[in-house]
Structure 1
Amino acid sequence: MSGGGELLCLGISHKTAPVAVRERLALTTKEAQSLCRELVDTDAIREAVAISTCNRTEIYLVGDPVHAETELLSRLAARADTRPTELTDAMYAPRNCDAARQLYRVVSGLESMIVGEAEIQGQAKRAYEAALEAQTTGPLTNRLFTAALQTGKRVRSETALGEGRASVSSVAVGLAREIASPAHPELTTLNVVLIGAGETSELTAQALAAQGVRTIFVANRHADRARSIADRFGGTVSSLHDLPDRLTEADIVVSSTSSPHPLIGVDELALVMRDRQGAPLLLIDLAVPRDIDPQCAELDGVTLYDIDDLQSVVARNRSVREAERVQAEEVVEDEIQRFARWMGQLDVMPTISALREHGDAIVEQVLAENAGRWESASARDRARIEALAKSVMQRLLHEPTIRLKSVDRDASHGRLQIARELFGLSDGVSETSSDAGDEAGEAEVRPLRRRGAGPAR
């Protein structure tokens, strides 16, 4: 988009990087807001929205694509304590309609580890609301996220992609049942400890309750939230201070907090395992950054799974029919075409406005130059002459206006330049407008492709 910047997505996901890399780029809501504010304070970036979940961190920007990408990559590398070049292989950077397509697919659940999972819709909405609160959005990102959330709703209402409401939590509980089944055919005989009281823990408690589990200890810093989950699903609340005691009694532990540091270290767990006298312990870590030190897996009697380990389970038990995925992708593409037409107006409308202003100026100039030739004309006659002149101008510009609106986006820049030269319009006219409507026009698709950016369509 000449003059006003382009739409860019820079991201990393479970498809392009392991959890050990993703956790270094994970953002809390406050960290996402802070990063977006820093970005829009630079000369290269005008709008910014960041999404960070257990499986992805994606930042959507509007600005100069080259400088914006460099600026953001530098800041992410500093956050990950690594060189930018070490991140590039794991990151994708689609632009314009490909960036929009990426967000539409994410919100629709097509890019999720559990295809069709519904939680991402709420996560994307909260990320957008956080950016609104931080005042880092603008005309393009506002339109983008509003349309993406609407697309997600269409996918879930018009297709069966999310049928069964599968989630990372339900897969984790299924994994726990599978592993525990040799000695315990049912989970009802086991002690389960949930660490955290967020959405993932709530869904885990719900999935456990569906299996008949009632012995659920919820450990969390926020007692009220933990008590609410425990009351709903037949569990009890324990403080994090008492976590070692709970671990000593537990058979299964599922952790999913937003802590920036591990809550269970290898040394502490070694003491717990000594007290357990050889009783096995299953740990499932759904957090990013991870709540459980990976070295805990080396302790005798400990079985540890992290969020990436669930991918193999998901692949083995994938139940989404291909027809449902295809139908969902058709909805996404339909909405992308709508967004493309809107983006096309961002290029065309300023030139059309300048063309009309140029025509109005010519009419006013001609009327002023000939004002002395109809002194005897009445005010009504003068109004008719002015209306006639404007009508001629509007009819003359009608066909060029239609052609400019309908031109293919790939050829629009050259066509707009020719129109400006033919009509003597200023070369400095901005080619971005926040007031563009939904008229016809095609948006440019120029992704900076890297691994994970997805195919062009």
Structure 2
Amino acid sequence: MSRGGELLCLGISHKTAPVAVRERLAFTTPRAQELCRELVSGDAIREAVAISTCNRTEIYVVGDPVAAESELLTALARRAGTRATELAEAMYAPRNCDAARQLYRVVSGLESMIVGEAEIQGQTKRAYEAALEAGTTGPMTNRLFTAALQTGKRVRSETALGDGRASVSGIAVGLARDLMGPDLEKRDVVIIGAGETSELTAQALAEQGVRTIFVANRHADRARSIADRFGGSVSSLHDLPERLAEADIVVSSTSSPHPLIGVDELALVMRERNGAPLLLIDLAVPRDIEPACSELDGVALYDIDDLQSVVARNRQVREAERVHAEEVVEDEIQRFARWMGQLDVMPTISALREHGESIVEQVLAENAGRWESASPRDRARIDALARSIMQRLLHEPTIRLKTNDREISHGRLEMARELFGLLDEGADEAADAAVEGGEAEVRPLRRRDAR
């Protein structure tokens, strides 16, 4: 790809690293915007969008693939407080259509801990909107994320992958029911946080007849609104020790960069409880509850990774729909592949024809004095003959360049540019015009087999 560069994703997820590693790369929206601005301020990266959820952090960038990967890995390692070589072991780095496929699968719920969960689509949309606000998107990422979100909608409308509205919150409530007994309405439940996960948790608990207490400082108004909807009440973080002393179940999901419940503080609370058991479910990344709390007598602590064993029991229900969902993803990937291919092909073909036209003009001008006795009609015939030879000469190379095989096409493009001495600058301008003007809109290719 000429001016914009190649598409690259650098990511880490629940499939490649435990929560102890993932939480070091978890970004709030402002920090994600800060990272993207930093990345595009250099020479290697032109566009950047960062997605950060409890199960993954993925950065999608456009630029020079080798330099961009090195620069991005260095930036992430610096924020994680580790060496880039160590971090690289837990990360994946697909490029171009493979990177697009990763995002399509993420948005569709195919890469989620709970296959088909719907929250990821909203989280991806908000991440993209944050990058738009930060001014770090461009033609490639705009097209990529718009198409990925559309793919997610297709998967949910054309398959039953998301039936049952399974979510991390729902699994957490199911775990609480398994551990504490089916009569959750008799339990005192505290929810720390007022974000989307907390709201979904409150909804799942309300369906069990549970009235919850929300603990939140930063988003007290939102917590109050959720509490009103589901019959709960609101408290502040200042009163958290008192709430913990009375609770049977605590579900925490905030965006705090530091733990809200420490082992020393919880030890004092447990003394007041006189041996009454306490179930803590930590859905946050970074974690809200210090892992050492699990060592206290009477405390049962589960984090986001602990839920995977519960998820495994529910996985077979959705496996039948996975194949249909993957077919939709592959169908949309073919469309994106054709679009990406045209970003290279159309500007090169345009530059090739302009190169041919310039040669014709130059040759005609150099020989204008050799046929001063020719009539205007003869001159027109000479002009037409020269252009016809040029068009026939370029016809076969043009056909070859338009091959649907992206790997072969890319090699031929590089050879054509080198053999004909085509300048990248002209192709760059044509590529931008094609992207912004919509010339790259294409129909789907023949569907490939799903992975």
Bigger RCO (CA 8 Å, 6+ sep) = 1
* Matched-pair contact (CA < 8 Å) for 2:351–2:427: no
Q: Partners in 1 of 2:26 and 2:176 — Cα distance?
A: 26
| Superposed counterparts of 1:375-390, under 5 Å | none
Q: Partners in 1 of 2:255 and 2:353 — Cα distance?
A: 55
Q: Deviations over 1:1-50 (max 9, x none)?
A: 36642211111100111111100110000100101111111221111111
Q: 2:317 aligns with which of 316, 320, 324?
A: 320
Q: Partners in 2 of 1:51 and 1:391 — Cα distance?
A: 52
| Alignment match, 1:27 | 27
| Superposed counterparts of 1:49-198, under 5 Å | 49-181=49-181, 185-198=182-195
Equivalent position SS for 1:357: helix
* Matched-pair contact (CA < 8 Å) for 2:47–2:62: yes
| Alignment match, 2:216 | 220
Greater displacement, 432-441 / 67-76 = 432-441
* Matched-pair contact (CA < 8 Å) for 2:24–2:79: yes
Deviation, 1:362, is 3.5
Q: 1:271 aligns with which of 268, 272, 292?
A: 268
Deviation, 1:271, is 1.2
Q: Deviations over 1:121-143 (max 9, x none)?
A: 01111111111111111111111
Q: Deviations over 1:375-399 (max 9, x none)?
A: 9967x99889867865665565444
* Matched-pair contact (CA < 8 Å) for 1:407–1:441: no
1:230 aligns with 2:227: yes
* Matched-pair contact (CA < 8 Å) for 1:171–1:310: yes
Q: Partners in 2 of 1:167 and 1:111 — Cα distance?
A: 13
Deviation, 1:401, is 2.2
Q: Partners in 2 of 1:8 and 1:377 — Cα distance?
A: 59
* Matched-pair contact (CA < 8 Å) for 1:173–1:208: yes
Q: Deviations over 1:315-352 (max 9, x none)?
A: 12324333310111111111111111111112212221
AA aligned to 2:22 is: R
| Alignment match, 1:450 | none
Equivalent residue pairs, number = 439
Equivalent position SS for 1:91: coil
Q: Deviations over 1:282-336 (max 9, x none)?
A: 1100000111111111111111111110001001232433331011111111111
Q: Partners in 2 of 1:264 and 1:2 — Cα distance?
A: 51
Q: Partners in 2 of 1:63 and 1:18 — Cα distance?
A: 29
| Alignment match, 2:295 | 298
Structure 1, unaligned runs of 5 or more: 443-454
Equivalent position SS for 1:309: coil
* Matched-pair contact (CA < 8 Å) for 2:331–2:444: no
Equivalent position SS for 2:315: coil
How does the TM-score come out when normalised to structure 2? 0.90
| Superposed counterparts of 1:245-260, under 5 Å | 245-260=242-257
Greater displacement, 53-62 / 385-394 = 385-394
Q: Partners in 2 of 1:205 and 1:61 — Cα distance?
A: 36
| Alignment match, 1:10 | 10
* Matched-pair contact (CA < 8 Å) for 1:108–1:156: yes
Structure 2, unaligned runs of 5 or more: none
* Matched-pair contact (CA < 8 Å) for 1:115–1:161: yes
AA aligned to 2:178 is: E
Task: Supply the RMSD in Å over aligned alpha carbons.
Answer: 2.6
Q: Partners in 2 of 1:383 and 1:170 — Cα distance?
A: 77
AA aligned to 1:217 is: I
* Matched-pair contact (CA < 8 Å) for 1:195–1:219: yes
* Matched-pair contact (CA < 8 Å) for 2:323–2:450: no
1:280 aligns with 2:277: yes
Greater displacement, 82-91 / 251-260 = 82-91
- Cα–Cα, structure 1 residues 42 and 393, in superposed 2: closer, same or farther, change >3 Å? same
Deviation, 1:421, is 5.6
Q: Partners in 2 of 1:414 and 1:171 — Cα distance?
A: 49
